[in-house]
Amino acid sequence: MATASPRHSRAGGPPRGRRGLTRRQAIGYLGGSAVGALVGGTTLATATACTPPETPTSQGDLNLWTFADTHAGWFMEMAKEFEQETGIKVAVSLIPGSVLFQQLLINLKAGGLNTPDLCDIEQGAFGSFLIGRSVPFVDIGPALREKGYDKQLVAGRQALYSWQGGVYGVEHALTPVTLFYLREPWERAGIDPATLHTWDEFSEAVRETFPPETRALPLPGHDVMLRQRGGDYFDAEGRVTVDSELSIDTMEWLLAQEKNGTFARPPGWITEGLNPAVWAEFRANKIVSLVSPDWYAGTIESQADDLVGKWGACPLPAFEPGGRRASCLGGTGLTILKTSKRQEIAWQFLEFSMLRVPAVIKRYKAINLYPPFIPAWSDPQMHDPIPFFGGQDIGALYAEVGEEVPPQYQSPYRPQLTGQELGPRMLDVYQRKRSAAEVFSEVADAVRARMERGGSVG
Amino acid sequence: MARTLSTKDVATDAVTPGTPTRRRRRSYVRPRWTPYFFIAPFFILFGIFFGLPTVRSLQMSFYTERGVDTSAEFTGLDNYATLVRDPTFYKALVNTSYYALGSILIIVPLALSLALLLRTRGLLLREFFRLSFFLPNAISGIVVAIVFRLVFDQEYGLLNNWLLAPLGLPKVAWLADPAFIMPSIILLGIWQFTGLNAIYFMVGLQNQDPGIHEAATVDGAGPWQRFRYITLPLLKPTTVFVVTFAIIGSYQLFAQPVALVGEGGGPNRAGLTLTMYLYETAFTNLDLGYGAAIGYAITVIIVVLSVLQMWAQGFFRKESA
């Protein structure tokens, strides 16, 4: 019998020409395939998601990530100009929404694998990057001070990207919060909202002049109004202050304004924000104004384009005569990653795109972000009439209130406080199921407990 | 010189005459190894990409590791001690159990009813119905949730305007009122998973010997008696399978609630599930050790509940018999 039976194999191996693998070979192949898989996997990972090469490539000498398509478009334009001027290519990647921040956190945690040189970080997500022994962004504070940029940028906005003495980003937008109002109903009522200097005057005028079914505006955010009064959820040292007297009083004031008929709570406003039901109330003139940051203009345009051109804007009424007439909401900063091998070139691009008057004017024209870069404010191009506001010189308004924009302080626990502790409980406060004092105290305790557990930070 | 032969020597000499007994022979792979060799790549990749991370995360659960730039510090059972005192974990556990209970108690009977209905003799378009019931399961959870956001919209949604309004009922804030968030997610689950489970039950029903049913009919058993004493007991393995997978699926629920009410779980965190809390802890707060502990807690919960329901259905009694 020529067939190789197991017995035959045991006796003297399979016959010539039908030899199987020796055990050693088999184990070798198995080991080899394991090593191959590891190496293959690593190679694949390196090929598809490698750390940026140290030398310039055709892909881009610098890699930049952003989460907003509007920012991506503007950065691409800047990249073209930068390449013409310096010969250095900048590759801009759009990774939409919060995916970018989680991706970047994970990549940094994986030792800096596939991290960009520059990255746009939304202010709400910035705090997550402050947890750990050190901040993963380059401290650009010394460079900003050396060139005098620190005095040209609105200090309140830079607070968003500052932590324990370091400055880790440059803000795109001033994000000034002012009062957007529908011109027609206010004109019909015979009131110029710009002449109402305090919230008391505003409230009184609205209740006396408008019909009872009309309310001035949907309830503004508690954080927005708190910042107008000089407070915030954290102080400059990163201590939790959401349960401060000022914070509780601000919440109670908001609820009182709703109760007295000045502010409205349209369907879905607290949980979803601007939505079709809210626009229906604007169209029916049941609501006639909105406490709004500059960048809301784009949102309004996309959701209610029939209202474009019908808006005016003026400073917010102050809480007391002569008080602050602006607040802030939102923001995004451009950062340089410590893992970047080309930090010097990255700084050059940051300076080119964020700290030059022509560049920030282009951004304002392209995506309506009023710059926190003060030298640009006096440029005539910043005062061109804006169709959204029916030709109003909105630049003049933002320049007027610009330096009043309050600081918003960062903390590693800011995302946790706003998204995980306060946000889910706020509906109870708005619905008056629980008092502001009770909820804010609970939130503050929860965040303090997290901070205690948090270990080394920043 | 006299030499005592051992049995080993005899055997060796008998098999390979003339071969020196001390010579080291090359051993060859027996053909019975060949299948293992072919399936080895899967196990190697499984070990690298599943086994190792599983072991690593178990190890991580005994360490405190927070933030980007940090080193792991051994803290023993500290993460587990924090877990048993964490109100958010309990909130997520209650929410997830609510979903699991709601979906199992509704989906399983509904799926069985559908399967029985689809077995009806002479049913027109049977294959069309089977396909239709299965299709929701082929759609990504995120896509389903985005569509259901429109269905649940308070002002313009299908449910409020087409179902409640004609009955004169007030509009419900399905995704904004904490009391309605989990029922909304359960409704979505029913739509998405009933069809698949009905198909499992149909397979179970098809495998039943019609002779037993015929014999029962001859013995005078009515439809309800046949269903109660023959169909249901014979479906036990399928039911155990369906319920076990429903438990596993429920405690791993992630995409649908995230897309419906956001990563935080919506107002009062009424839509926060255990896997969402794990994700938030590990990848938003970068508290990796604690996230790993939550992961293992979920595993233990799933295993315990699965074993308990199998025991309750007599699965182990049958095995031992």
Pairwise CA distance, residues A297 & A367, whole Å: 10
| Cα A146 off chain centre by | 27
Separation of alpha carbons B281 and B284, rounded Å:
6
CATH number at residue A100: 3.40.190.10
Contact A12 B48 (CB under 8 A): no
Q: A264 in a domain, yes or no?
A: yes
**pLDDT exceeds 70 at position A145:** yes
Indicate the SS3 state at residue A336. strand
Q: Residue A10: inside a domain, yes or no?
A: no
Q: Is B284 left (phi over 0), alpha (psi -120 to 50) or beta?
A: alpha
Distance CA A452, CA B58 (A): 24
**Tens digits of per-residue pLDDT, A105-131?**
889 988 888 999 999 999 999 998 998
* φ, ψ for residue A119, nearest 5 deg: -150, 135
Q: Do B48 and A455 touch (CB under 8 A)?
A: no
Residues B157-212 pLDDT 10s:
899 999 998 999 998 989 989 999 999 999 999 999 999 999 999 999 988 898 99
Tokens of B37: 């060799």
Domain assignment of residue A9, yes or no: no
Within this chain, do residues A350 and A335 fall inside the same structural domain, yes or no? yes
Length of chain B: 321
Cβ neighbours of A110 (radius 10 Å): 12
- Which of A92, A89, A160 lies closest to A129, judged by CA? A160
Q: Tokens in use for A106?
A: 């994970």
Q: Which domain holds residue A107?
A: 62-174+330-376
Give the pLDDT band (50/70/90) at residue A214. very high
Give B16's pLDDT tier (boundaries 50, 70, 90): very low
- State percent of chain A over pLDDT 90: 69
pLDDT at residue number A368: 82
Residue A13: which of B26, B33, B175 has the nearest Cβ? B26
H or E element: which one contains A332?
Answer: strand A332-336
Is domain B94-320 classified as CATH 1.10.300.10?
Answer: no
Q: What is the mean pLDDT of residues A362-390?
A: 91
Residues A315, A212 share a domain? yes
Residue A192 has pLDDT above 70, yes or no: yes
Please name the residue of chain B whose CA is at the shortest distance from the CA of residue A107.
Answer: B68
Give the gap in angstroms from C-alpha B68 to the nearest C-alpha of chain A: 5
Task: Assess if residue A395 is contained within a domain.
Answer: no
Is the CB of B154 less than 8 angstroms away from the CB of A268? yes
pLDDT at B6: 44
Residue A217 has pLDDT above 80, yes or no: yes
Residues of B in contact with A38 (CB under 8 A): 48
Whether the pLDDT of residue B3 is over 70: the answer is no
Whether residue A51 has pLDDT greater than 60: no
Closest C-alpha among B296, B294, B301, B299 to residue B83: B294
Model pLDDT, residue A435 = 97
Model pLDDT for residues A312-332, shown as the tens digit of each residue:
999 999 999 999 999 999 999
For residue B11, is pLDDT > 60? no
Which of A153, A158, A104 shows the shortest CA–CA distance to A338?
Answer: A104
The per-residue pLDDT for range B124-147, each reduced to its tens digit, is 787 888 888 888 888 888 889 989
Distance separating alpha carbons of residues A110 and B233, to the nearest angstrom: 52
If asked whether residues A307 and A418 sit together in one domain, one would say: yes
Q: How far apart are CA A140 and CA B231, in angstroms?
A: 73
**Exposure of A255 in the CB half-sphere (CA atoms within 13 A):** 18
Q: Cβ A37–B44 below 8 Å, yes or no?
A: yes
Interface contact A20-B265, CB threshold 8 A: no
Q: Are residues A191 and A318 in the same domain?
A: yes
Task: Say if residue A117 is in the same domain as residue A201.
Answer: no
Task: List C-alpha distances in Å: A131 to A139, A334, B70, B279, B283.
Answer: 16, 19, 9, 17, 12
**pLDDT tens digit string along A76-112?**
999 999 999 999 999 999 998 888 998 998 899 888 8
Can you list the alpha helix ranges (DSSP code H) found in A317-435?
343-354, 357-367, 394-401, 414-415, 423-430
ipTM over 0.85: no
Q: Residue window 231-260, chain A: list those with CB within 8 Å of chain B.
A: none
- How many domains does chain A contain in total? 2
Q: Are A201 and A386 in contact (CB under 8 A)?
A: no
Strands A327-328 and A176-182: antiparallel
pTM of the predicted model, to two decimals?
A: 0.80
Q: Chain A closest CA to B218's CA: distance in Å? A: 56
B-chain residues near A105 (CB < 8 A): 68, 283, 286
Cα B138 to Cα B132, B134, B196, B215: the distances in Å are 10, 7, 9, 39
- Residue A15 placed within a domain: no
Both tokens assigned to A139: 């401290």
d(CA B70, CA A134): 8
Q: How close, in Å, is residue A432 to chain B by CA atoms?
A: 14
A210 with A298, same domain: the answer is yes
User: What residue in B sits closest to A439 (Cα-Cα)?
Assistant: B268
Residues A194 and A290 in one domain: yes
Q: Is the dihedral of CA A118, A122, A128, A134 positive or negative?
A: positive
A144 and A150 in contact (C-beta within 8 Å)?
yes
User: Which residue in A109, A271, A277 is closest to B267 by CB distance?
Assistant: A271
Q: Any idea how long chain A is?
A: 458
Residue A272 banded pLDDT, cuts 50, 70, 90: confident
Average model confidence (pLDDT) across chain A? 86
State whether residue B71 is helix, strand or coil: coil
Pinpoint the alpha helices (H) of A166-310. 183-189, 199-209, 222-228, 245-259, 269-272, 276-283, 296-303
Between these two residues, B94 and A27, which has the higher pLDDT value?
B94
Q: Pick from A33, A109, A130 the residue to mutate for testing the B interface (most B CBs within 10 Å).
A: A109
Amino acid at B94: V
> Which of B71, B155, B265 has its CB closest to that of A277?
B155
Claim to verify: residue A353 and residue A310 sit in the same structural domain: no
Which pLDDT band, with edges at 50, 70 and 90, does A11 fall under? very low
Sheet of A332-336: strand order equals A90-94, A62-66, A118-122, A332-336, A170-171
CA distance A307 to A276: 13
Mutation target vs B (from A115, A271, A426; most B CBs, 10 A cutoff): A271
Q: Over 70: is that where the pLDDT of A10 sits?
A: no
Residue A439 inside a domain? The answer is yes
Rg (CA), chain A: 28
Q: What is the pLDDT of residue B22?
A: 54
Q: Are residues A425 and A290 in the same domain?
A: yes
Which member of A21, A136, A267 has the closest CB to residue B68? A136
Tokens of A53: 């090469």
DSSP state of B157: -
A296 close to A370: Cβ distance less than 8 angstroms: no
Q: What does the pLDDT average to over A21-41? A: 48
With CA atoms as reference, the chain A residue closest to B153 would be A268
Given A14, A37, A128, which is nearest B284 (Cβ)? A128
Task: For residue B4, name the pLDDT band (cuts at 50, 70, 90).
Answer: very low
In a domain, A399, yes or no: no
DSSP state letter for B262: -
**Cβ-based contacts of A10 with chain B (< 8 Å):** 30
Residues A298 and A278 placed together within one structural domain of the fold? yes
Same domain for A354 and A370, yes or no, is yes
Q: Pick from A352-361, B64-73, B221-230 the range whose average pLDDT is largest.
A: A352-361
- Residues from chain B that touch A41, judged by Cβ atoms under 8 A, are 48
| Distance between CA atoms of residues A396 and A389, nearest Å | 13
- Using the predicted structure, report yes or no on whether residue A256 has a pLDDT greater than 70: yes
pLDDT band of residue A259 (cuts 50, 70, 90) is: very high
Report the pLDDT averaged over residues B105-111.
Answer: 94
Q: Please name the residues between 392 and 431 in chain A that touch chain B, using a CB distance below 8 Å.
A: 412, 415-416, 419-420, 423-428
In angstroms, rounded to a whole number, what is the distance separating the alpha carbons of residues B242 and B253?
16
Distance from CA of B146 to the nearest CA of A (A): 15
pLDDT digits 0-9 by tens, B223-238: 899 999 999 999 998 9
* Whole-number Cα distances in Å, B287 to A422, A445, B61, B79, B134: 20, 19, 10, 10, 39
